[in-house]
Chain A
Amino acid sequence: MRRRRPVNASSTPLLARISLASVLLALLVAAAFAILVVAIASLRKSTDTATRSKDVAVATLELEKLVLDLESGLSGFVLAKDPHFLAPLRSARAELPAATERVQSLVQDDAPQRQRVRQLAAQVDAYVSDYVLPLVAIARIDPAAARASVARSEGKRRLDQIRNGFKRVLAVEDARAADAVHSANRKSSRALEIGFAALGVSALLVLLFGAYLVRSIARPVREVAGAATRIASGDLAIRLEEEGPGEIRELEQAFNSMAESLGQNKRELEGQYERLRESERLRTELLSIFSHELRTPLASVLGYTSLLLRRKLDDATRRRYLEIVDGQSRRLAALVEEFLDAQRLEGGRFELNEELFDVGELLREQVQIHAAETDRHRIGLRLPATPLNVRGDSRRLAQVVGNLLGNAIKYSPEGGPIDVSARRLDGQLLIEVRDRGIGIASEHHSRIFTKFYRAEARASGIAGAGLGLAVARDIVEAHGGQIGFTSGEGAGSTFWVALPSLAEADAEPGETRAAS
């Protein structure tokens, strides 16, 4: 049978395990989400960078167009001497500062590019103030000289220089935009990979977690439910393996100890029921025995009375019959008394009329009475020289001794010696009654003093109600004494009674009851 073990300290409570797993799972999902957010933010930043580079390129191209407008306006006016060409030149010149300003503001955050744009703006300014405007003024005064100057390619050189500047700015922005797009692509595919991986891992973990819950909670709970159903149907022997984690193990242990105590209660109840039935059976048997015990002396009383009434008898016979009727009537009275005693003992009503008396006298009297009742037994009595005074109820103790003697005779049907003795031993008074009769088999020893218990006496044809020893024990114990026996099957029995003895100095023989 399994005993309830204390909860295993090394087993982490299930609640803690589930909480921990849930928290870890949540952290994992949050981390995956954070990675995705970061990836998206970085993607947006790359896109912004690409967009800004495009804006810079557009503004730069517009600026370049204005510069080309200046140049073509100038060339037209100088070569064709037509003042109409001055109109686009003027408008281009007017728009120049705003366009420059726009480019500069776009590259505000980009130090090397800002430097380049500033240099470019300075070259454009220098081209306008050092070349375009002076050449327009010269052309107004001396068109030929202006043409010669254009032919010297001073303007073309400056313009190429400016164009190269524009090319550099644009190239930088192009490279930057391409870079940003490339990086955005790389980041977005990376983010997708991480996102899918995190999703996969999360899904896997959720599955594992679910499987764990099923294995560690659902299955044991179902087992407990199944076992509870079996207990409900009466199978109290079922026990669960105490193997689950934390609370589940506690549940299994609690279940087992419940089953254990249910089984124990059931066994106790069954035992009580068995004892009740046994006592009921004994009571029924008692009734039959009681009536048998009453009918036997009654048959003598009625039979002899009938003879006394109907027949003419001589005095001696009449007297003999009357003595038999008297003896059998006394036997009836004693029998009734014995049953009343048993009844009284059962009700707990038991009174002792205590007095000081000599146990030796009591034994002599009882031996005499019983010796007269049997011719098959030889009853011997051994007593010390001094009186054996005790304080107690002499009538009750005589009943005890009479009972033991009666049993000794009854249970040695073949006859034989019966030895009665009394002596002081270790401050107690010890009375012994020994027979050489059928003895008591060891399996009956524990119940010999039980009321109505008669071992095999009924089957052996030995009469009795099974009350004598039960009453004897109650009387002896009421005196603060003890009663017991040693016996073996076929080896006879020795019953003993130990009574608390008085010190010899206290014993006043004068109080000793008069004996016949």
Chain B
Amino acid sequence: MGKTIVICDDEDSLRELIRAILNGEYRFVEAADGHEGLDLIRRLKPDLVLADVMMPRLGGLELLAEVRRDPALGALPVVVVTAFAGQRAAAMEAGADGFLAKPFDPDELMATVEELLQTPR
């Protein structure tokens, strides 16, 4: 069964890259900013979220905070993907389940996503 992953990033090429790396095993839904992403998450109740930090309208960390505040979303796994290398601690503190610094290793992305999707919830 295909699990649903929401990719939030304002860079089209990055979204496409993530999709290509994860190789079509999942159902992907894309959002170009945090607002759009949050709407999709609330509507679709996905299995995983990949969120960039610096996005228009609503940043990744704010998006994460909204998700954690929402009881309906429970322990939805969120991976923060950012070009700000120094934000691992902030992301973990905000409740991220994974952290990837751009540029990221495709294998690391795959490993992180697979591990989080296999963890019983």
Contacts and interface: CB of A to CB of B under 8 A. Distances in A.
Contact of A461 (B11, B16, B57, B83): B57
Contact of A302 (B16, B85, B103): B103
A27 interface: no
B56 A303 contact: no
A156 B33 CA distance: 165
Nearest to B58: A461
Interface in A287-304: 288, 291-296, 298-304
Contact of A299 (B14, B54, B56): B14
Nearest to A313: B20
A300 B13 contact: yes
A376 to B, nearest CB: 8
A413 B33 contact: yes
B104 A413 contact: no
A300 B17 contact: yes
Interface string B10-42: 010110110011000000000001100000000
A461 B34 contact: yes
Given A303-B104, A461-B55, A324 B83 contact: no
B83 A299 contact: yes
Interface in A244-294: 288, 291-294
Contacts of B17: 299-300, 303-304, 307, 324
Nearest to A317: B20
A463 B103 contact: no
A384 to B, nearest CB: 35
**A contact patch SS:** helix
Given A296-B14, A303-B21, A462 B56 contact: yes
Contacts of B102: 295-296, 298-299
A453 to B, nearest CB: 18
A446 interface: no
Nearest to B33: A413
A306 interface: yes
B59 interface: yes
B86 interface: yes
B22 to A, nearest CB: 11
Contacts of A301: 103
A293 B11 CA distance: 12
A460 B84 CA distance: 15
A328 interface: yes
A299 B104 contact: yes
A307 B83 contact: no
Contacts of B57: 413-414, 460-461
A301 B102 CA distance: 11
Given A291-B85, A302-B103, A461-B57, 10 more contacts: A292-B82, A295-B83, A295-B85, A295-B101, A299-B102, A299-B104, A306-B106, A324-B17, A462-B54, A462-B56
Interface of A: 288, 291-296, 298-304, 306-307, 310, 321, 324, 327-328, 413-414, 460-463
Q: Give me the 7 closest cross-chain CB pairs, A-B, nearest first.
A: A413-B56, A295-B83, A299-B102, A299-B103, A303-B17, A292-B83, A461-B59
